[in-house]
Every structure is written in structure tokens, then in C-alpha cells.
Structure 1
Amino acid sequence: MGTPPSAHPTGLAAVSAALLAMNRTLEVRDVLQTILRSARDLLGARYGALGVPDGNGGFAQFLVEGVTDEQWRAIGPLPRQHGLLAAMLCEDTPVRLADVRDDPRFEGWPDAHPALGAFLGMRIVSGDEVLGALFLADKAPRHETPEPEPDRPAHPQPEQPATDHPGAQFTAQDEELLRLLAEHAAIALTNARLFERGRELTIAEERARIAHELHDAVAQKLFSLRLTAQAAATLIERDPARARAELTQVTHLAADAAEELRAAVVELRPAALDEDGLHATLAAQVHVLDRAHPARTTFHGDHPRALPAAQEEALLRVAQEALHNALRHADAATVDVALTRRGTATVLRVTDDGSGFDPAAVRAAGRHLGLVSMRERATGVGGRLTVESAPGRGTVVEMEVPGG
């Protein structure tokens, strides 16, 4: 692929740091900014831009480096795909020019736009999809290569005009280095987009699940409450005793509906596993449940140990299912959640003093109480699940996952 990156004046360490930075975040906007800033810094360009096409002849995102916020606002609205920009997005061949103004496809700039000279542009492609295009302009002599500005969230201050150094040009080595960056940028950007789409799907699925649960549980109780209240109203004068009984039932139904709503609100709270970790997330959720339910709900755990993301999510979901069963079905007075270590393994244990059940009878009746889902989550991350229960003796749900 031409001159290897290690032969470029920037050095292998700088290239490696740039590639690692691209993959350090999964937020699309941050990935785009890192790609642009890395390309500009490594190739010593005064100006840089990265455009993401919107599929309608414009750009969904257009990031710039080398101009101030005031200059960018003065330049005006985002550019359309025309002239050299359009050609770059349609052609696979990189564009390297001594002066962009000499290219026949050049169509000029807005009045506030800086005058550019040397130009290097390249597409970012994944398969047949054009993810974006990188534009660099005005190569600075090596002793004046712009320094990285990691603390600036957006556009750094501009360098001196390009006419100060008319001989500075992008080289074939620059083009090969930008090609390498574009290939890795495509991977990083694809991963970030997949992550965001997956997060959106997860949120949508969770909303659908909560909506279904609200419809099946709360809506039915509210419908019963309304009918019972109507019945009580018709009985007030001709059968006061019966009316009082119906109103008592209204009170019970209202309490049940409020309980269903509290449970739904608790489950809508974000898990925050990425930010807080499993230990803190479980502790916070147990605290909320302890305040929302009459049962005494407690949590204790060993010093937290980092686990793979899939294991943490599985442990959290099993804990939530076990808590759901204990608080809403078992009529427990106390529930304890423990997250401890057993050698190199991590053990989750949810214990309640509720009504309990006969596991064999539950299986025979075709009722699962979420047991199948919990076992699938455990085995899916290489763990195991055990459930101990008996009528009148409470329930213990334990999940163990191996350590690294």
C-alpha cells in the first residue's frame, strides 16, 4: 500500500495513538471529531473538514477544524454536495491538489471562507456505503505543523494564511497515511453507529415491554375500578351496605393500580451499568424499591470487581426478575440482595421470606415466574442459576458467574 506509516515523519507512535483514540468512544459525534482532528494533526494541515452525506444532496453533519466559531457562523449554512465536494463523494480516487482553486471542479467559496491552497481529500467507505469524506487544506511546513488541541471541544484558532507558505504541499506519503486513517475511521465509525442503533433498539424494546405490561395490568385494574365505582354509585341510596362494600373494593383496586405503576416506574429507571457498574446500580435500584414498597429491601456486597459487560447485564436482569417476583407475587416482608465473591466467581443471591412455591408444581402447571428467562440469562454468560423455595418458606435465587 505504498510507504508504510512508520516511514512518515509523524512516526508510528503518533499514528498508533490516533487509531486508538478513534476507537476509544462509541458516540458517533465524538468519533467523527477524533477522526478529523487526528487527520489534521498527523498530516500538518491548517484546515480540515469532515462531511457525512445525508442521502439528499446535503450533509447530515459537517465538522471543521482550523476556523473559529465566529468565522464558521459567518461562513453561513452547511455546504451542499456540489463541485469538488460532490466529486469526492462519488469517486473512489483520492484528490491531491497543489492548489484547489486550479481544479476545474472548484466553484468558489462564501465571502467569509478562508482562502485555501494545497488540498487533500479522501472518502471514508465501508463496503459500498460512503460514510463520509475527509478534506484537508494548506499543508504547513514541518516546523509549523499545528499542535494537537485536545482541550478544545470545537474549532481551534486559525493559523496564518496559506499564502505565507506557497510551497508547502501534501505528499504521496500524506495520501497513504490519510488512506490508512480513513480505513480505520470506517471501522470506528461503523462500530459507533451500530452501538447507537443497538441502544435505540434496546430503548424501543424496553418501552414496548413496559407499555404492554401497563396495558395488561394497570389498564385492566383501572377498568375494574371504574366499573366498581359506578356500581357503588347506583347502590348508595337503595343498598348503602352493599355500596360501602363496593367502595372498599375501589380502595383495594386503586392501591393495586398504584403498585403496578410504581413497579413500572422503577423498571424504567436507567441501569447506568456503563457509568456506575453493577455494584452501584444494584444498590441504587434496591434503595428505590425499599422506598416504593412496604417490604424491607436491603443490599450488601463485597468490594466491587469489574466484570464483562454481558455478565453485569445478565446479573442485573436476574436480580430485577427475582425482586419482581418477591415484591409483587410472594408478598414478602423482607428481601435481601447480596453480591459477593466466591473464589474467582461472582455470586448474586436474592433471598425473600415470602409465600414461596413448589418449583415442581410451577413447572407442571406451565407457570414459570421468569425462571426460564433467568436460567437462559445465566447460561448465556457461562454461569449457573439455582432456585430454592417451598410453600410458606420463602425463596432463594442464586446466580454464579465465573471469574476471569
Structure 2
Amino acid sequence: MPTDAIGPGTTLSRDLGPRTIGPDHRRSGTRYGARVDAREELRALSAAVLAVTARQSVREVLQTIVSAARRLLDARYAALGVPDEDTGAFAEFVVDGISDAQWNAIGPLPRQHGLLAVLLRDPAPLRLADIRSHPRFEYWPKHHPELRDFLGMPIVHGEEILGALYLANKRGGEFDRDDEDLLRILAGHAAIALVNARLYERSRELSVLEERDRIARELHDSVAQKLFGLRLTADAAAALVTRDPERAAAQIATVRALAGEAADELRAIVVGMRPADLEHEGLDAALGKQARLLDRVHAARVRLRADPVPRLAPECEDAAYRVAQEALHNALRHASARTVEIRLFLDGAALVVEVRDDGSGLRPTDQASLGLTSMRDRAGAVGGRLTVESEPGQGTRVRLEVPVG
């Protein structure tokens, strides 16, 4: 396709003249049969429709549509352009009827100018008996095929123009109203493909953000606590190594165990797995092991009081475990608590996890911290309810209620 209909250029402009130039030839049954039979037209339309719903790249779908347009309208050349508003060029530009050698000889991708700009700014189709007669025609570069009659159709979604279809040099005559109607149908399929691609890209970006947030929460809730405990235990071992080698060796063994658990947790976070203790033994056993570990490596007294509780859905157990971990982390690292108690019990139709401490309590600014935000997000994700009660100097109570069943 030409530079002016498809090639590089300079200025953007709007069409100031009438949108249809040249006679409106009506297609007779004989003419239509000579161009393409009804069965071929149906097959080409079907291919274009199926391409929109198939798991193909956007470029493959657009190529199917532009190829179908050229065959159905019996045109020598066809192209489809999707503009890039940031650069003034095209994000996508596919052609049909031009060989690779011809396309390479034409040169760089076209920019938005001339008739290309008209169709990207005005939602009305443009049908010309001679493309060179239009006031916005500019030129085409060397090696570009010479064009005569022309049919352009904007690709519209709502009030937004997503791109345009361009056809030129109809065999055996000029483009007519029937061609225009058929091209409008194909432009509608192209709009669906482009909107779907846009939605897919947005959903992919959202998935990336959600995964990043998940990893940040997991690192904060789990691995950070393990590393903090590991550092405390290593400090204790260093202090004992000269005066009590036996106790120092025990502390070093704990360091090794903590390092192994941190590595396991990190691997689990990367692949989205649940903690191994929670997966195999249940919430009460996993919290019991966590309490014993923290009691061993911290000066504070950490205890679990657990009633018999049923196994819950994996996502509910995981949320309860992580909320308890975060509450313990806050109590031991930030609140300087002397005693911390975890309670696990049933209250009607809800499983309750409570973490109470006698530490310094929360400051007003702590309500917006990553830890509390993470706990609230986890509770909400499983239909649970989180309450946090705290007074300066009077400790904190974190209570999570998760529906059973």
C-alpha cells in the first residue's frame, strides 16, 4: 500500500471534502459471481470470525482479517494499521498483496499522515475512484505500487478509533457500496480482536502486580521472621562459643535448622506452595511448631493454647497461619513483649485465631503498615474478619475469624 494510503509522511490532517468520490457501482449477480462465489465469501468471513476467538497473536488475527478483506473485495492490495499514539507511527501494520521483497524495498513503516491520518481521526469510511484526487493525498515512495481506486474503513470501538483497513486497486472495476458494507463487518471483527488484546494485556499486568504483592507479603510474613530468629540465635552462639562451647553448639544447630527452614519457605514462596507443616499436619500442629521455635530463640515466653479444630480449606488455613505469623512477628520484634499467647478454637461457625501480647502496643501510624495491611488482605480474601485491639503500654490482641466449611 502507498505511503499516502500506507506509507511514511509528515502532517496529520482531517478530510475537508465529501467522503465518497466516484460513481456508486452496484454489483450484479454476474459480477459478484465473477469476483468470488458465495461459498468462498462465507469461508473467508468464517476464518476472520474464528481468528478473533482463536488463541492466536494479535498480529496473526489482524493478518487473517486483512487477507480475508483483500480476497472478498477482490482487491490487489490491502493493509491494516493500528496507531501508536506516543510515537506518531504504527504499533501494528500488516499488509496483503505485497511480497516480502516489495515490502522491504518500500522502506520503513509508514507514519500517520495524509489519508492515513484522515481515517484515524474520522469514523466515516472513505471510498475514492482515484486516490490521487483527494485533497489530503501526498505521495508514495519509490518501489511503492501505484494505486488507483481506494476504500478505507476505520476500526471503531464505541467512540474510539482503534485503527483502519485500507484497500486499493479493485480488479474489474471500482469499489462500491456492497464492498463498503462487507469491509465494515471485517472492521468490526478487527475491533473485537484489538479490544480483546487490550483486555488481555491489562489482565496480564494485573496478574504481575498481584504476584508481586503476594511475594512481598510472603517474604514479610515468613522468611523475614526466620531470618530475624536466625540472627538472634547466631548472636547467642557467638556470645557462648568461648565460655560454654556445648550450649554454643546447640545454638549453632538451631541456626542451621532456621536457615534450612528459611530456604524451604523461600522456595515455597517462589512456586506459590503452602508451608510444609501446614500442608501435612494442619493448623494446630503448624502453629505449635512455630510457637516452640519462637519461644526457644526469643527472650519472650511464647505459648499456644489450641482446642481440637477441623481441617479447613487450604486457602483458609494458609490465611490463618500467615495472620498468626505476622501478629507474632509484630509482638516479638516491634512491641518488645514479654509474653505472647496464641489461641486456636471454634466459636460457633467460625474458627478463631487470637494472638495476645503484653508489649508496648500499636502506634497510630502502625495501622497503615505493610504487616497489618497484609493481615487484612488475607482475612478478606477468605471471607474472614480481622479485629485488632491495642492500647499504648497495654499490649495488643489480634483476632481472626474464618468461617468453617
Change (3 A) 1:70 1:19: closer
Residue pair 1:98, 1:119 contacting (<8 A) in 2 also: yes
Tell me the CA shift for residue 174 of structure 1.
0.5
Determine which of 61, 71, 74 is the counterpart of 1:41.
71
The letter of the residue matching 1:47 is: Y
The letter of the residue matching 1:188 is: A
Change (3 A) 1:359 1:25: farther
Change (3 A) 1:10 1:213: farther
Residue pair 1:28, 1:193 contacting (<8 A) in 2 also: no
Determine which of 131, 149, 152 is the counterpart of 2:162.
131
1:218 aligns with 2:223: yes
The letter of the residue matching 2:115 is: L
The letter of the residue matching 2:179 is: D
Match of 2:115 in 1: 84
Match of 1:321 in 2: 315
Range that drifts further, 19-28 or 57-66: 19-28
Match of 2:58 in 1: 28
User: SS of the counterpart of 2:164?
Assistant: strand
The letter of the residue matching 2:46 is: A
The letter of the residue matching 1:169 is: E
Residue pair 1:123, 1:132 contacting (<8 A) in 2 also: yes
CA distance in 2, matches of 1:132, 1:71: 23
1:179 aligns with 2:208: no
Determine which of 89, 92, 115 is the counterpart of 1:61.
92
Q: 1:219-270 CA distances to partner (integer Å, 9 max, x unpaired)?
A: 23223323322332333223322321221221121121112112112228xx
Tell me the CA shift for residue 321 of structure 1.
3.4
CA distance in 1, matches of 2:107, 2:317: 55
CA distance in 1, matches of 2:94, 2:314: 42
Change (3 A) 1:359 1:69: farther
Range that drifts further, 20-29 or 128-137: 20-29
1:17 aligns with 2:46: yes
Residue pair 2:59, 2:94 contacting (<8 A) in 1 also: no
Among all aligned residue pairs of Structure 1 and Structure 2, give the percentage whose two residues are the same amino acid.
Answer: 51
CA distance in 2, matches of 1:183, 1:321: 42
| Structure 1: gaps spanning 5 or more residues | 142-167, 269-285, 297-317, 330-356, 377-396, 399-404
Match of 1:363 in 2: 351
Determine which of 263, 266, 270 is the counterpart of 1:261.
266
Change (3 A) 1:328 1:244: farther
The letter of the residue matching 2:214 is: R
Residue pair 2:44, 2:72 contacting (<8 A) in 1 also: yes
Residue pair 1:21, 1:34 contacting (<8 A) in 2 also: no
Cα-Cα RMSD: 4.1
Match of 2:4 in 1: none
Alignment of 1:155-194 (within 5 A): 168-194=173-199
User: SS of the counterpart of 2:351?
Assistant: helix
Match of 1:52 in 2: 82
The letter of the residue matching 2:255 is: V
Tell me the CA shift for residue 208 of structure 1.
1.7
The letter of the residue matching 2:66 is: L
Tell me the CA shift for residue 30 of structure 1.
3.0
The letter of the residue matching 1:75 is: I
CA distance in 2, matches of 1:115, 1:40: 17
1:112 aligns with 2:133: no
Tell me the CA shift for residue 85 of structure 1.
0.9
Residue pair 1:54, 1:60 contacting (<8 A) in 2 also: yes
Change (3 A) 1:327 1:67: farther
CA distance in 2, matches of 1:89, 1:199: 27
Match of 1:402 in 2: none
Residue pair 1:36, 1:50 contacting (<8 A) in 2 also: yes
TM-score (norm 2): 0.59
Tell me the CA shift for residue 183 of structure 1.
2.4
Determine which of 243, 250, 253 is the counterpart of 1:248.
253
Match of 1:236 in 2: 241
| Structure 2: gaps spanning 5 or more residues | 1-23, 282-311, 324-343, 356-374, 385-403
CA distance in 2, matches of 1:320, 1:98: 68
User: SS of the counterpart of 2:53?
Assistant: coil
The letter of the residue matching 2:238 is: A
CA distance in 1, matches of 2:267, 2:316: 17
CA distance in 2, matches of 1:262, 1:326: 20
Tell me the CA shift for residue 120 of structure 1.
1.0
Residue pair 2:89, 2:110 contacting (<8 A) in 1 also: yes
Between Structure 1 and Structure 2, whose CA radius of gyration is higher?
2
Tell me the CA shift for residue 68 of structure 1.
2.5
Higher relative contact order (CA 8 A, sep 6+): 2
Q: How many residues align?
A: 282
Residue pair 2:151, 2:168 contacting (<8 A) in 1 also: yes
CA distance in 2, matches of 1:29, 1:323: 44
